[in-house]
């Protein structure tokens, strides 16, 4: 492998706003936008309603003025006459207060203008003269008069004979309207500022409450970063299940797996160092013997070379088995799915071993009704059955008989390999799946065993979610049973 490709680049560290502040500011921005849109629609409806009210008041003013002036003739269209009609001189206070015309025209934000038939302004006599706009019917609309936006109502003025003698204009400067809206806008602005402040505080507190598991995750990761073998995990007992709980559980599972792989790596190195020490020492001893004087003795030379080659071959087998064991440890990562017909495979193993060992009697009890698909790589299941079958042959020296069995129970399939050899006592049976464990070390070494086969089989089976167990009795033999889940698509 290229040296550069094996270098792990350090992940760049970037810091920004914390998630709490992002949550708080995002909540403020979202609520502010929603509030502005909602306020805009409410204010539009409120403005329309208020403008309708102002138009009704202008219309009432037009009615009051035209009704008061409808009995005059063209010759009475004089400022004094009009003022006398609109502002009657009365000593009766109640009459003055309850006069509808005075109620309308006495308002500071109202101006009443009267024009003659020719469009000349005759009332009020003093003050600014506003240009005349002729109209055939009553019109009430907003206009700009001398740069000021106001509500203007216009209507023809007729005498008793319904002859046009002039025009009346009522100007509503909308002072009260604008004051009301300025007050409402000020209240809304204060509410917005206060509301955003309170929402920001609430969002910050709420984000801190909901994101509390993130702090626990960070503390756990920091601890693991300092000590990869630290037995700390994210605790979620007090929380109801949610996405962060799922994330915490996923992290805990990942840490369990990571630490298991680290332990497996350390154990691999220790096991290899331990197991290779003896053959290396033997080879070294023979080489030193040959270096001193043995190379001149053909008999010693032949014995040393033969022993060294034997130990080298054993080391080669040992390294190969150790690599198989390492791959078996990681099978759940590298092989997630598989489609293997358990019935076809166990029958194939049965047929092959009958051919390889003609001096043995092989029997098979197949209760599977047709193809039975399990979620396992075919090579792995075949390797497991070969390991179990080889062990059965090795330890069946007197009664050379091997039984295979296959059956189904619910959603699992059970495969079994039985021998009638020496059997294993309970103390040894509890350790047969340990690495490098050998019941009879001298005999196992003579037969070429390293004590790794059953460890490889167990790792492979458990890596695919299965289970392997041993039933054994001294003098009666052993049965290895494998239980594997059946894929749901299988309809047997």
**Domains along the chain with CATH numbers:** 21-183 (3.30.450.20), 243-328 (1.10.287.130), 335-485 (3.30.565.10)
Task: Give the CA distances from residue 168 to residues 64, 158, 282, in Å, rounded to whole numbers and listed in that order.
Answer: 11, 10, 128
Q: What are phi and psi of 433, to 5 degrees?
A: -90, 0
User: Could you tell me which of 110, 109, 131 has the C-alpha nearest to residue 119?
Assistant: 131
User: Could you tell me which of 100, 69, 94 has the C-alpha nearest to residue 84?
Assistant: 69
Residues sharing a CB contact under 8 Å with residue 325, sequence separation 6 or more, in sequence order: 268, 435, 452, 455, 456, 459
Residues sharing a CB contact under 8 Å with residue 86, sequence separation 6 or more, in sequence order: 65, 68, 69, 101, 102, 105, 112, 123
User: Could you tell me which of 348, 363, 351 has the C-alpha nearest to residue 396?
Assistant: 363
- Cα–Cα distance between 269 and 264 in angstroms, integer? 9
Task: Give the CA distances from residue 245 to residues 23, 53, 251, in Å, rounded to whole numbers and listed in that order.
Answer: 19, 58, 10
Q: Taking a C-beta distance cutoff of 8 angstroms, is the pair 8, 172 a contact?
A: no
User: Could you tell me which of 72, 79, 131, 67 has the C-alpha nearest to residue 104?
Assistant: 67
Q: What is the dihedral of CA 250, 253, 255, 256, to 10 degrees?
A: 180
Q: Taking a C-beta distance cutoff of 8 angstroms, is the pair 119, 132 a contact?
A: yes
Q: What is the pLDDT along the chain (492 residues), one digit of tens a residue?
A: 444 444 456 656 666 677 778 877 888 888 888 888 998 999 899 889 999 998 998 888 888 888 888 778 877 788 888 777 777 665 555 555 666 666 666 677 888 888 888 888 888 877 777 777 888 888 999 888 777 888 999 998 888 788 888 899 888 888 888 888 899 989 988 988 898 888 888 888 888 877 777 888 888 888 888 888 788 888 876 667 777 788 888 888 888 878 877 776 777 677 667 667 767 887 888 788 777 776 677 777 788 888 888 878 777 766 776 676 666 665 554 555 678 899 999 999 999 998 889 999 999 999 988 888 998 888 888 888 988 998 899 888 788 999 999 999 888 999 999 999 888 888 777 778 877 666 654 444 455 556 677 888 888 888 888 999 999 888 888 999 999 998 865 444
pLDDT value at residue 5: 46
pLDDT value at residue 361: 92
pLDDT value at residue 3: 46
Whole-prediction pTM = 0.47
Token digits of residue 477: 């033999």
């Amino acid at each position: 492998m290229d040296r550069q490709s094996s270098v792990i680049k350090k992940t760049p560290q970037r810091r920004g706003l914390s998630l709490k502040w992002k949550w708080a500011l995002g909540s403020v921005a979202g609520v502010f936008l929603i509030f502005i849109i909602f306020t805009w629609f409410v204010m539009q409806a409120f403005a329309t309603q208020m403008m309708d009210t102002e138009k009704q008041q202008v219309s009432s003013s037009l009615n009051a003025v035209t009704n008061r002036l409808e009995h005059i003739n063209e010759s009475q269209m004089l400022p004094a006459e009009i003022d006398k009609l609109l502002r009657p001189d009365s000593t009766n206070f109640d009459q003055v207060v309850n006069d509808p015309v005075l109620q309308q025209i006495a308002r500071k934000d109202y101006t009443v203008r009267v024009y003659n038939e020719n469009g000349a302004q005759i009332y009020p006599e003093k003050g600014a003269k506003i240009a005349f706009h002729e109209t055939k019917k009553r019109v009430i609309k907003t206009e700009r008069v001398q740069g000021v936006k106001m509500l203007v109502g216009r209507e023809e003025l007729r005498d008793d004979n319904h002859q046009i003698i002039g025009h009346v204009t009522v100007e509503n400067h909308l002072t009260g309207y604008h004051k009301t809206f300025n007050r409402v806008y000020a209240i809304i602005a204060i509410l917005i500022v206060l509301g955003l402040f309170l929402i920001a505080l609430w969002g910050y507190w709420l984000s801190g409450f909901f994101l509390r598991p993130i702090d626990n995750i960070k503390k756990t990761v920091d601890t693991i970063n300092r000590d990869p073998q630290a037995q700390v995990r994210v605790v979620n007992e007090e929380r109801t299940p949610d996405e962060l709980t799922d994330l915490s559980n996923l992290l805990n599972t990942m840490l369990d797996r990571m630490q298991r792989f680290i332990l497996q790596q350390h154990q691999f190195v220790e096991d290899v160092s331990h197991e290779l020490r003896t053959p290396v020492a033997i080879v070294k001893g023979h080489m030193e013997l040959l270096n001193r004087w043995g190379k001149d003795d053909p008999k010693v030379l032949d014995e040393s070379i033969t022993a060294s080659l034997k130990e080298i071959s054993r080391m080669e087998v040992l390294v190969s088995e150790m690599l198989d064991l390492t791959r078996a440890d990681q099978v759940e990562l590298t092989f997630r799915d598989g489609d293997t017909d358990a019935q076809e495979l166990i029958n194939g193993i049965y047929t092959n071993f009958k051919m390889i060992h003609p001096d043995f009697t092989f029997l098979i009890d197949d209760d599977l009704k047709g193809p039975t698909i399990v979620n396992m790589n075919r090579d792995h299941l075949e390797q497991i059955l070969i390991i179990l079958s080889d062990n059965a042959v090795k330890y069946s020296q007197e009664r050379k008989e091997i039984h295979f069995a296959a059956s189904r129970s619910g959603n699992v399939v059970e495969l079994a390999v039985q021998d009638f050899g020496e059997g294993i006592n309970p103390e040894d049976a509890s350790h047969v799946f340990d690495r490098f464990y050998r019941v009879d070390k001298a005999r196992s070494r003579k037969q070429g065993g390293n004590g790794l086969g059953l460890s490889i089989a167990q790792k492979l089976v458990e890596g695919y979610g299965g289970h392997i167990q041993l039933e054994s009795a001294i003098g009666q033999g052993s049965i290895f049973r494998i239980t594997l889940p059946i894929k749901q698509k299988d309809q047997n």
